[in-house]
Amino acid sequence: MNENSYETIEVRREGRVGVITLNRPKALNALNEQTMQDVVAAATELDRDSGIGALILAGSEKAFAAGADIKEMSGKSASDMYHEDFFAGWDAFARLRTPKIAAVAGYALGGGCELAMMCDLILAADTAVFGQPEIALGVIPGMGGTQRLTRAVGKAKAMDMILTGRQMRAEEAERSGLVSRVVAADELMDTALEVAGKIAEMSKPAAQHAVETVNAAYESGLWAGVQHERRVFHGLFSTADQKEGMSAFAEKRTARFSHE
């Protein structure tokens, strides 16, 4: 697929960084089926490209994404939702191995908050607002929010947000561990490119294994996670980048990674 032929997103490359920008401004980037297909297709292509070492997912100034598209799903039955396995397509995005950064300004509500949490780290503009308002629609989060938000901010805040629909502003989100940094809105993309650029300079296999192994901390008990980490650490000694990285340190020079 040509990178500029998507209907709901824009895709560009900045050196070794792939940038995907949600682009449904009239619907505040609400996530419909087409958006899911576009994001997954573009991100999968970038993920497989050895010339790309990190991804950024961004929205607009007003909204990262205001949730799943309510108008698209409102008339569906439980049977439709089950047969379509609604939202399951997003799992392919969550499972990508290239480090991915959500650059969030404005509303990240419902599926927007959940999509940001599928990324490996979240950078927020001081305008960012996170929330899971599904309870007010008579449902609950359906793209991982009950699980990822609880792990990110703990049970007390997750219950508060999911049961009342209370929104969390950027400063509280940083304090609570949901986002890694908060910056001025006009610095968000520069900061995201700087962080993504830094990650993309590193050995790609090392960064991919780091993502997988940190994520294992979410998905397994402590002992299983520590064992997984050790096996991955051992395995990385088969890469050219490990030899180069450690030789460069001993030789007091900057490593030149081949990303292999």
In 3-state terms, what secondary structure has residue 177? coil
Beta bridge partners of 10: 21
Could you tell me if 230 and 236 are in contact, meaning their C-beta atoms sit under 8 angstroms apart? no
Q: Which is nearer to ligand CAA, 18 or 67 (CB)?
A: 67
Using CA atoms, how far residue 157 sits from 55, 102, 167, 256, in Å, is 29, 21, 10, 44
List the structure tokens of 57.
């997912």
Pick from 52, 58, 66, 96: which binds ligand CAA (CB under 6 A)? 66
Pick from 53, 59, 145, 205: which binds ligand CAA (CB under 6 A)? 145
Pick from 28, 52, 103, 183: which binds ligand CAA (CB under 6 A)? 28
Q: Establish if 59 lies at the interface with ligand CAA (CB under 6 A).
A: no
Specify the pairing of strand 129-131 against strand 107-109: parallel
Q: Which is nearer to ligand CAA, 28 or 173 (CB)?
A: 28
Shortest Cβ 206–ligand CAA spacing (Å): 33
Q: Which is nearer to ligand CAA, 136 or 246 (CB)?
A: 136
Q: Establish if 205 lies at the interface with ligand CAA (CB under 6 A).
A: no
Pick from 107, 124, 193, 207: which binds ligand CAA (CB under 6 A)? 107
Q: What is the residue type of 163?
A: L
Specify the pairing of strand 168-169 against strand 121-125: unpaired
Residues assigned a catalytic role: 68, 111, 114, 134
